[in-house]
Amino acid sequence: MNTIFLASSGVPIFAIPAAVVLILVVLIYAITKRYKRCPSDRILVVYGRTGGGSAKCIHGGGAFIWPVIQDYEFLDLTPISMEVMLTNALSKQNIRVNVPSRFTIGISTEPTVMQNAAERLLGLSGDAIRDLAQEIIFGQLRMVVASMDIEEINTDRDKFLTHITHNIEVELQKVGLKLINVNITDIHDESGYIEALGKEAAAKAINDARISVSQKNRDGSIGEANAVQDQRIQVAAANAKAVEGENTAKIAVANSDAARRSREAEAERIASASEKVQLAKALEESYAAEREAEEARALRKQAEQHADVVVPAQIQKQKIEIDAEAEAEQIRRIAKGEADSILFKKQAEAQGLYEILTKQAEGLDRIVKAAGNNSKDAVLLLVADKLPELVKTQAEAIKNIKIDKVTVWDGGSKGEDGKSSTAGFLSGLYKSVPPLQDMFDMAGMQLPEYLKGKDVEDGNAEVITEEKKDSKK
């Protein structure tokens, strides 16, 4: 097998793509290895050249870590629980107290506090972070105890927890931590002051209870006597009021009876009047109802008549009008069609006549041009062309006349022109055939000399005459 090498380096050509692929694979692997994802329970801290600040904190998501110039670590967000056994804390009254408690803390995810954690807690173990937080809590807890009385600490626990939470949380944020929970288990002192306060409170409660019982017993006896007195007074007053009430009630009953009877009478009168009024109204309404019923029946009857007579008449009228309009429209359309047909026919005839006359004019123009533009010679050419037809027509006019013999009875009388009657008859018969000269004269033209011929005298005609014999002979 032959291997192709580059002229300059001597490296095979097929080795170049393999090298490129290898480089790309290495680059992709390096990129994927340098891209770090941050889980939800951690904070990704990128340090080095971050483009601003000492570190870049990422909670969730991920970031690409540039080699050489950048590196990364994680901060654990797992809560840290610790017991804080505060002892011999000096209160505001200079009484030392013990405050056993439990605190839960963790690294904050707030941007500014998270930046503090990256700067101050990065690289520390969990125990180191716990020790740092415990020192802060001890200090702030002592300050809160010193600012309050024993009575306040013992009786107003909410106020005590509020002060502790506020003071400790402010200090923890400085190192990137936050306070999750505070639980004060107990508060006591070595001198027994809190215990004495408890005993005092208990004794005071007992004495108060005894006094309250005595006062209640006294109040009960006095109340009992007052109750008896009030009972007698109230009974007497009640009896008096009862008698007065009875009398008042009797008077009220009498007045009520009178008012009742008056009201009953008035009610009966009003009822009677109302009954009469209602009866009158009922009659009026009945009459009105009957009248309305009659009007309704009349209207219904009128409507029925209108529906039976007027409506059909209107429908018939509309039908006739529609039919008439349709017939008129049909007639108009037929007439228009016939007019269009006649117009088209006349236009066609006119066009045909125009074509014929145009062709005739063109032919006459050619004849005139053939005659040397002499109109008379042109006419002679036309006549010469039509002469056979004219002669044929003359011959047709007399060819069917058969004259075997002409018999004329003539008495020998002569006319004014000196001709006999027989000669006049023959001359008229001859003249009945229109000669060419007459035809040309009627046309306003001159018969050519070669067509005139010679005149025939009337005496040349052979006439066979027979004298009329007298019947008497």
Residue-wise pLDDT tens digits, 65-102: 787 787 888 888 889 999 988 888 888 878 888 888 89
- pLDDT of 430 > 70? The answer is no
- pLDDT of 466 > 60? The answer is no
> Could you say which DSSP state residue 418 is in?
S
C-alpha dist (Å) from residue 154 to 63, 88, 144: 52, 16, 13
In whole angstroms, give the CA distance from residue 422 to residue 413.
10
Q: Taking residues 391-413, report their average pLDDT.
A: 63
pLDDT band at 459 (very low <50, low <70, confident <90, very high): very low
- pLDDT of 394 > 60? The answer is yes
Residue 71 and residue 124 in contact, taking contact as beta carbons nearer than 8 Å: no
- pLDDT of 46 > 70? The answer is yes
* Beta bridge mates, 408: 465
| Amino acid 104: pLDDT | 93
pLDDT band at 462 (very low <50, low <70, confident <90, very high): very low
Q: Taking residues 269-289, report their average pLDDT.
A: 80
Residue-wise pLDDT tens digits, 156-202: 888 888 898 999 999 999 999 999 999 887 777 766 666 656 555 55
| Amino acid 306: pLDDT | 76
Half-sphere exposure of 325 toward its Cβ, with a 13 Å CA cutoff?
A: 6
DSSP run (H or E) holding 407 = none
Tokens found for residue 59: 């909670």
Half-sphere exposure of 335 toward its Cβ, with a 13 Å CA cutoff?
A: 6
Please tell me the least confidently modeled range out of 97-106, 144-153, 266-275, 286-295.
266-275
Q: Taking residues 17-26, report their average pLDDT.
A: 78
Find all residues with CB under 8 Å of 216, minimum gap 6, and list them.
none
Q: What residue spans define the domains of the chain?
A: 15-72, 78-191, 395-466
Q: What is the mean pLDDT of the chain?
A: 75
- pLDDT of 425 > 70? The answer is no
- pLDDT of 339 > 60? The answer is yes
Query: With left for phi above 0 and alpha for psi between -120 and 50, is residue 124 left, alpha or beta?
Result: beta
- pLDDT of 468 > 50? The answer is no
Q: Which residue has the higher pLDDT, 438 or 188?
A: 188
Q: Taking residues 127-141, report their average pLDDT.
A: 91
* Count, residues in the chain: 473
Question: Using CB atoms within 10 A of its CB, is residue 215 exposed (0-12), middle (13-18) or buried (19+)?
Answer: exposed
| Amino acid 54: pLDDT | 77
DSSP string, 378-396: HHHHHHHHHHHHHHHHHHH
- pLDDT of 8 > 50? The answer is no
What distance separates the 2 farthest-apart alpha carbons in the chain? 221
| Amino acid 244: pLDDT | 79
pLDDT band at 105 (very low <50, low <70, confident <90, very high): very high
CATH architecture of 78-191: 2-Layer Sandwich (3.30)
Q: Name the 3-class secondary structure at 355.
A: helix
Three-state SS string across 441-456, please? HHHCCCCCHHHCCCCC
Q: Whole-model pTM above 0.75?
A: no
Highest mean pLDDT: which range of 225-229, 268-272, 290-294, 455-459: 290-294
| Helices 375-398/311-370 angle, 10° precision | 110
- pLDDT of 365 > 60? The answer is yes
Please tell me the least confidently modeled range out of 210-214, 227-231, 283-287, 433-437.
433-437
- pLDDT of 23 > 90? The answer is no
Tokens found for residue 8: 């300059």
Highest mean pLDDT: which range of 147-151, 174-178, 210-214, 396-400: 174-178
CA angle at 134 for the pair 128 and 136, rounded to the nearest 5°: 110
| Amino acid 268: pLDDT | 79
In whole angstroms, give the CA distance from residue 108 to residue 118.
11
